[in-house]
Structure 1
Amino acid sequence: MGITHTVAGERFHFADLRTLLAKASPRRSGDELAGVAAAHARERVAAQLALADLPLKAFLQESVVPYEDDEVTRLIVDTHDAGAFAAIGHLTVGALRDALLAGAVDPAAIASGLTPEMAAAVSKLCRLQDLLLIAQRCEVVTQFRSTVGLRGRLATRLQPNHPTDDEAGIAASLLDGLLMGSGDAVIGINPATDNLPQVMRLLQMLDAVIAHHDIPTQSCVLTHVTTTIEAMARGAPVDLVFQSIAGTEGANRGFGITLALLDEARQAALSLRRGGRHVMYFETGQGSALSSGAHHGCDQQTLECRAYAVARRFEPLLVNSVVGFIGPEYLFDGKQIQRAGLEDHCAGKLMGLPMGVDVCFTNHAEADVDDVDSLLTLLCTAGCNYIMGVPGSDDIMLGYQSTSFHDALAMRRLLGLRPAPEFEAWLQRMGVFAAEAPQLAAGVPARFAQLLEQA
């Protein structure tokens, strides 16, 4: 597809779609590490101008990763919805961005007609406010025991991790989160190991808590999908199947998965009939394909969007970008993390996914809590489905900084957001929230006082 574009008398040539997308991507350390980034701002602007003029039909004629070499590419091509695409097939990338901003296109109607590369291209042309406005127009609702993604709602994943999987420590964090209104998206534990008996004990513990208190939420132990499959075979009470996913076949093999394996896990979870059809929970993050040497010369944001094609195939309840978790090699500082988080949320929503974001950073990144607060506020303004709830915002097992139970309360109060409706009614019934008001009740609810004494 070679494209040449001239800016202020200087000519720039882009050999193919993969190169054009990479050069048009806003600056980030991972693309520079991979050697695919624009050499300077002039080349980046030239690539963005050329990309804006590129017809959307061009994305159906060229793949950034060869079809014959990659099952993710085959998934994208073979499942493309030509009917949904027909409504926008006459547009360029720039014209689609304009139509989305103007409200002239219904995002839900075109989602299945967008390839990941189209969604990535649109987001590369957007300012931050554009990413907010476009994402805010996208409502993606999923349901298990609670309903996540409704307008005016902000859910949380209650993340009570413990460095030794100590059940008393997990229970203390779990109670802390529930008393502050967290947990409506999922109560999800990252186990310290993939030890099957321990994973099953954690699943049984969470199931017992949810059943005993009749909590309208779902549980997940974020172990490898093969461990979850074996746990289900042994009768474990699995609500959601978790897996980290990426945008190329090679990167997914680095995670130890294939599309067939994910389908096997989904079918096993559906057979348990514990909820509806949304039984999968996926996490993604820019840079995962590069870290496994499976990026095929693509930029990391385009490959992140290709991971969303994998997620879309399995109708997940939850998807979240763990945006700052991989480290500064891929997103160097708070500015790059902020841009990436908003891109991920917007592109995922455009593709019809129930997007949440783990607003986070590792301790060796050039970022701090002010960067977290800024990105968190922007995402909640844009309609992010859910965020993380970590005790004190410091995950002592994974060793990174995220968002706390207090952060969710602050966003709900600041922006007038409410928890998932079923969970909000439970919080009020239990005396955690004041009756008919999305705020904490005064004092410790009587239903929980005895539990605190026992702890």
Structure 2
Amino acid sequence: MTVRRTTLGGHTFEFASLADLLARATPHRSGDVLAGCAAGSAAERVAAQSVLADLPLATFLEEQVVGYDEDDVTRLILDTHDRAAFAPVASLTVGEFRDRLLAWAAAGDEPAISALAPGLTPEMVAAVSKLMRNADLVAVGRRARVVTGFRSTIGLPGRLASRLQPNHPTDDPLGVTASILDGLLHGSGDAVIGINPATDSPAQTVALLELVDAVIQRYGIPTQSCVLAHVTTTLRALERGAPVDLVFQSVAGTQAANRGFGVTLDLLAEARAGALALGRGTVGRDVMYFETGQGSALSADAHRGVDGRPVDQQTLEARAYGVARHFGPLLVNTVVGFIGPEYLYDGKQVLRAGLEDHFCGKLLGLPMGVDVCYTNHAEVDPDDTDALMLLLGAAGCSFVIAVPGSDDVMLHYQSLSFSDVLTARQVLGLRPAPEFEEWLARMDLLGPDGRVRDLPADAPTTRALLAAARP
């Protein structure tokens, strides 16, 4: 390990390893304090950022924060690294890389930024994000273009898609379908109609998949369904001939954390192959959906790297994107405030983490979305989520998650509502995915101004959708 030092204000600061340097340079958050790797003062944080700015990007190809021999995520990242794509920035330091990204963003050079993705490692993008202000993360994130497709196209400029999340505490079909109807009438659901099941039962998973598929097929809705069961449950559903559009799995940034999730890289590859074999897509063949979140590795006590040293939660989050990238997903989102205040204490930390996650995912070539959310015991409120939602919309976020009334009655946390998505689209001049927008127009759900109509309960479209959704 290389020890790095700098002197600031007459005091010498020492950073024992690359992981230590990254952790001390990270903007303050409660999870790193809990892990014992946060900077002890603002002065130490500035000193670490100064050292990090002068660090060559190529260092991350030679020195690991989590060991190559003991971690399959590290091996995946390094073994698939594209040196040709890395070449345009290979000679830069982290600070120079920041300056180059901001110059490209200011010039509107989207191809230059987007082409870097295969040549960047998660640690590189985590490092440069630690040197950026929130506005920098927005400016560069909006210029990183990532487009994916299944039945709808995600990530096109000027678009903001949404996941319609119709969760129910008992998976009651009527309750689920009422939420689906509510979301569709609000113009939500173009990214996915995605249900967190109350149980991980294969039979219940199949029943929910068939319920949503019946609605999609009857009215030709250009979207995809997903029941967010464990990948092994989805594999069993595939064996039963269930109508699986997307394979879901939560992933993390270390092999140990993924083991805690009960998942391996080989298992993900098997499930992806099974979904691809069904050939259910119409505009694309991207069949994977991943969720992540800062603090997941720490919460599983799987956050340690070389010599057992803790790795900061944001760097580990970026490494989770290295896992997701390998499988060519349709959707990836961070559930940014879901794990709790032990990891992101208040609205300021949640907002910063959401912008970091979106920036890092987009730079790595992912169709990045965010669940703008919080648990009820965190120091966060709807004003904080409004601010993050609008900043993410400005940053070119691929999609957000929406639930009825902002209140998920099954998972017991606060997210965005369907009307919040409409607000973001209206304020920022954004539109749904193109195929879904055309469907909304065909169903007379869009007015001549392009806005979603406020339809009465007895309108023909409302009655038709309700009839289709009724189990």
Q: TM-score scaled by structure 2?
A: 0.95
Q: Which one of 283, 286, 294 corresponds to residue 286 of structure 1?
A: 294
Query: How big is the shift at 1:441?
Result: 5.3
Which residue, 191, 194, 211 being the options, matches 2:200?
194
Please tell me whether the aligned partners of residues 157 and 182 of structure 1 are also in contact (alpha carbons under 8 angstroms): yes
> Any stretches of 5+ residues in structure 2 without a counterpart?
305-309
- Checking the alignment, whether the CA contact within 8 Å between 1:359 and 1:375 is kept in structure 2 is yes
Check whether the contact 1:361–1:402 (CA below 8 A) recurs between aligned residues: yes
> 2: CA distance between counterparts of 1:33 and 1:439?
45
- Distance in 2, matches of 1:83 and 1:411, equals 38
**Counterpart code for 2:32:** D
* Structure 2 residue matching 1:69: 3-state secondary structure: coil
Q: How many residues align?
A: 455
Displacement of 1:9 after TM fit?
Answer: 1.8
Per the alignment, in what secondary structure is the counterpart of residue 205 of structure 2? helix
Match of 1:449 among 440, 460, 463: 463
Q: Does 2:129 correspond to 1:145?
A: no
Q: Distance in 1 between matches of 2:359 and 2:277?
A: 32
**Deviation at 1:449?**
2.2
Deviations 1:172-211 (A, max 9, x none): 0000000000000000000000011111000001111000
Moved more, 445-454 or 359-368: 445-454
Q: Which amino acid aligns with 1:447?
A: T
2:307 maps to which residue? none
1:224 to 219, 226, 230: 230
Residues 19 and 36 in structure 1, CA contact (< 8 A), matched pair in contact too: yes
Q: Report the more deviating stretch, 312-321 or 9-18.
A: 9-18
Q: Distance in 2 between matches of 1:187 and 1:451?
A: 15
In 1, distance between residues paired with 2:434 and 2:6?
51
C-alpha distance in 2 between matches for 1:145 and 1:345: 23
CA distance in 1, matches of 2:392, 2:317: 18
Residues in 2 aligned to 1:108 and 1:332: alpha-carbon distance in whole angstroms = 32
Separation in structure 2 between the aligned mates of residue 112 and residue 9 of structure 1, nearest angstrom: 41
Look up the equivalent residue of 2:329 and give its one-letter code.
P
2:166 maps to amino acid: P
Q: Following superposition of structure 1 onto structure 2, how do residues 247-262 of structure 1 map, counting pairs within 5 Å? A: 247-262=253-268
Structure 2 matches for 1:32-47, cutoff 5 A?
32-47=33-48
Q: Which amino acid aligns with 1:283?
A: E
Other structure's SS at 1:361 match? coil
Residue 399 (structure 2) aligns with = 386
User: Aligned partner of 1:381: which letter?
Assistant: A
Give the alignment's TM-score, normalised by structure 1.
0.98
**Structure 1 residue matching 2:84: 3-state secondary structure:** helix
1:55-99 CA-partner distances (Å, limit 9, x unpaired) = 001111101001011000000110000111111000000111111
Q: Unmatched 5+ residue regions in structure 1?
A: none
Aligned 8 A contact 1:146 1:184 in 2: yes
Worse-matched range after superposition: 131-140 or 431-440 = 431-440
Is the contact between residue 424 and residue 438 of structure 1 (CA under 8 Å) also seen in structure 2? no
Deviation of 1:450 after TM superposition, in Å, equals 4.8
Displacement of 1:389: 1.4
Secondary structure of 1:161's match? coil
Give the whole-Å Cα distance in 2 for the aligned partners of 1:24 and 1:150.
33
Identical columns (%): 64
Cα 1:334–1:288 change in 2 (3 A) is: same
After the TM superposition, list the runs of 4 or more consecutive aligned residues in structure 1 that deviate by more than 2 angstroms: 438-445, 447-455
3-state DSSP class of the match of 2:369?
A: strand
